[in-house]
A and B are shown apart, each in its own frame.
Chain A
Amino acid sequence: MLVLSRKKNQAINIGKNIIITVVDVQGDSVRIGIEAPRSIDIYRSEIYQDILSENMKAISTKQHIVEMLDQDLKSKII
């Protein structure tokens, strides 16, 4: 990983279209401004990772899902 030191209001260019600016530093918290094309998705990493792993857990097969929902439907009718 490339590590660069930046001060408040200093920025980093990534390629031609992405600029990351250190907007503010308060204790151990850093506010970061990101300028990027609207086509690029920007996520807080821990939230994206959480969604990614939740989707992986949610993967199932058609057969399993159909059986589970059929069972649920039957239990409601009874």
Chain B
Amino acid sequence: MTECNTVFTFTSGLPGLPEELKEFKFLTLQENSPYYLLQSVDDEQICLILLNPFSVFPEYEFNLPEEEKEKLKLENVQHVAVFCVVNASQGLKNATINLLAPVVVNTNTGLAKQVVLNDKRYSIRHPLFSNSHGGE
């Protein structure tokens, strides 16, 4: 596993996680893998799996509201990175991805926020693998 020292700062925290946790290490797990790990700096036991959504849903797109751009101090579109939280609590085969609330990052400043979209196309629990109904 390759460790890198990228830290994202979630100024308003992450919903459902202890409010005081604002800083998260962004870790690459495997080379060329679309999966990443978000690990709290202050409580290393708290991790989330992030996925590059475009690796699974190439057509994924949304409009980032102006006020969110302001909060992230985003001035240049080239400094945007988007990840989605994966819930694999029932195993990777049954994993779901939160497409409604992507994690948007300003790669220039490290400012990050889980943005809640107002977009009826996307769900909080979208199956990651469409053929995930066991067996295979």
Contact = CB atoms under 8 A, between A and B. Distances in A.
Interface residues of B, number: 37
Most chain B Cβ neighbours within 10 Å, of A50, A56, A57, A59: A59
Interface stretch (A6-14, A25-33, A35-43): A35-43
Contacts, number: 91
Interface in A27-78: 38-39, 41, 43, 47-48, 50-62, 65-66, 68-73
B67 A51 contact: no
Interface stretch (B53-61, B75-83, B84-92): B84-92
A31 to B, nearest CB: 15
Interface residues of A, number: 27
B98 interface: yes
B47 A54 contact: no
Nearest to A54: B124
Interface of B: 1, 12, 14-17, 27, 29-30, 33, 35, 37, 39, 44-49, 66-67, 70-71, 85-89, 91-92, 98, 100-101, 114, 116, 124-125
